[in-house]
């Protein structure tokens, strides 16, 4: 760190770095998560692919997810980091400020935890409890049902009343469908819950961390209709109090 210049200069070899990354990915097994910190700056070179095309190529060839931590400001940079975050269903873009203030953004892409959480707050020396349950979905759907919106309305009001609190959302599916399709479906479910809270309760997006894991971490057997229904969920955990 002490050897780094105080002011940036020279070329921005973003694609060159991604090309070197391929040599690392070739020797790995299992799923790999790669974090990229970028403002989207890139100096195009002859014969080199666009950064978004390169991350998509690596995602097709290797079992890898890209987590792009962005501090881009200019329109070209913003578009470029978005393109890198579209490499596949498990890749995403996270604003730098959210990444450093909300711990779920740092580690949740790597791990999931079962999070049936009881939220407690102190008001005039009296403890008030609030139970946050999972949000459930119909088969192959990510639209919120009316009864689920009612529970989210309670959660949204709680977050408005407690500005230091934040919520972590973890999307899952049952095991029907391909792993790739289920990853996207779990993403759609987590983002549907996040969008509902952000839009209806005017919450800062950094307070709502949405993650997704496909058919992983089942809470019931996928051999029965009842079990599959329990697995089609978004788990909710409130923290930061």
pLDDT in tens, 131-176: 577 999 999 999 999 999 999 999 999 999 999 888 889 999 999 9
Q: What is the pTM of this model?
A: 0.80
**Phi and psi at residue 73, to the nearest 5°:** -125, -40
Does residue 235 lie within any of the structural domains?
yes
User: What is the residue range of 159's domain?
Assistant: 118-239
Say whether both 232 and 147 belong to one domain.
Answer: yes
d(CA 218, CA 240): 26
Does residue 110 lie within any of the structural domains?
no
Say whether both 65 and 145 belong to one domain.
Answer: no
pLDDT one-digit tens code per residue, 202-220: 999 888 999 999 998 899 9
Q: Range with the lowest mean pLDDT among 51-60, 206-215, 223-232?
A: 206-215
Listed in sequence order, the residues at least 6 apart from 14 whose beta carbon sits closer than 8 Å to its beta carbon are: 38, 41, 42, 43, 51
Higher pLDDT, 1 or 112: 1
């Amino acid at each position: 760190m002490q050897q780094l210049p105080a002011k940036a200069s020279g070329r921005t070899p973003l694609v060159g770095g991604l090309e070197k990354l391929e040599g690392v990915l070739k020797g790995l097994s299992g799923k790999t998560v790669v974090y990229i910190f970028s403002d989207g700056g890139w100096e195009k070179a002859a014969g080199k692919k666009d950064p978004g095309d390169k991350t998509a190529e690596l995602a097709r060839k290797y079992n890898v997810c890209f987590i792009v931590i962005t501090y881009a400001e200019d329109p070209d940079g913003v578009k470029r980091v978005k393109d890198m975050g579209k490499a596949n269903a498990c890749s995403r873009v996270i604003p730098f400020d959210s990444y450093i203030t909300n711990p779920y953004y740092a580690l949740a892409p790597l791990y999931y935890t079962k999070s049936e959480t009881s939220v407690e707050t102190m008001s005039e020396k009296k403890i008030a409890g609030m139970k946050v349950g999972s949000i459930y979905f119909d088969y192959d759907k990510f639209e919120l049902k009316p009864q689920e919106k009612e529970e989210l309305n309670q959660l949204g009001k709680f977050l408005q009343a407690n500005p230091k609190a934040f919520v972590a959302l973890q999307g899952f599916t049952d095991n029907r469908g391909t792993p790739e399709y289920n990853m996207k479906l779990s993403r759609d479910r987590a983002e549907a819950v996040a969008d509902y809270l952000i839009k209806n309760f005017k919450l800062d997006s950094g307070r709502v961390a949405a993650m997704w894991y496909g058919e992983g971490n089942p809470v019931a057997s996928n051999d029965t209709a009842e079990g599959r229904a329990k697995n089609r969920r978004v788990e909710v955990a409130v923290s930061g109090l």
